[in-house]
């Protein structure tokens, strides 16, 4: 029983508690050293009022997030934050009434040379 409790506590520390807070996984990207830009296209209606980006396996220096909406609108979010392994950005409020996300562009620096490859996950909350 003690081993199960220890495992649950270890998993809780390793992953941000997002699922229980109404967060939905929007997408995942492997962060490579040779790339400093990723674009994630979201299929179907994806209407959220907030997003959050989390780093896994290794740190990522997140510079900028551009959120594109189905109505042609765009929201530029300057982040400029180092996300350590398991860290997330602040909850980012999306502006406007029609927040149907079609694409999210990420600009970052990955300092993973010779280390584990970072993975970035984007979550949304309606």
Q: Tell me the domains of the chain and their CATH numbers.
A: 18-125 (2.60.120.1300)
Q: Are 88 and 54 in contact (CB under 8 A)?
A: yes
pLDDT of res. 98: 81
pLDDT of res. 111: 62
Q: Are 47 and 99 in contact (CB under 8 A)?
A: yes
- DSSP conformation class of 22: T
pLDDT of res. 8: 40
Q: How far apart are CA 80 and CA 65, in angstroms?
A: 10
pLDDT of res. 44: 80
Regions of the chain with pLDDT less than 70: 1-20, 33-35, 110-116
Q: Which two tokens stand for residue 111?
A: 């300092």
Closest CA to 50 of 103, 20, 95: 95
pLDDT of res. 45: 85
Give the pTM.
0.79
Q: Which two tokens stand for residue 53?
A: 């980006």
User: What is the share, in percent, of the chain residues with pLDDT greater than 70?
Assistant: 76
pLDDT of res. 4: 41
């Amino acid at each position: 029983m003690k081993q199960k409790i220890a495992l649950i506590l270890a998993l809780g520390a390793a992953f941000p508690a997002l699922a229980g807070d109404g967060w939905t996984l929007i997408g995942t990207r492997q962060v490579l050293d040779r790339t400093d830009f990723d674009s994630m296209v979201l299929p179907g209606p994806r209407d959220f009022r907030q997003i959050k980006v989390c780093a896994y396996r290794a740190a990522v220096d997140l510079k900028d997030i551009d959120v594109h909406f189905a109505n042609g609108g765009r929201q530029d979010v300057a982040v400029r934050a180092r996300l350590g392994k398991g860290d997330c950005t602040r909850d980012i409020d999306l502006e406007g009434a029609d927040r149907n996300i079609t694409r999210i562009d990420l600009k970052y620096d990955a300092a993973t040379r010779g280390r584990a490859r970072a993975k970035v996950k984007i979550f949304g909350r309606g």
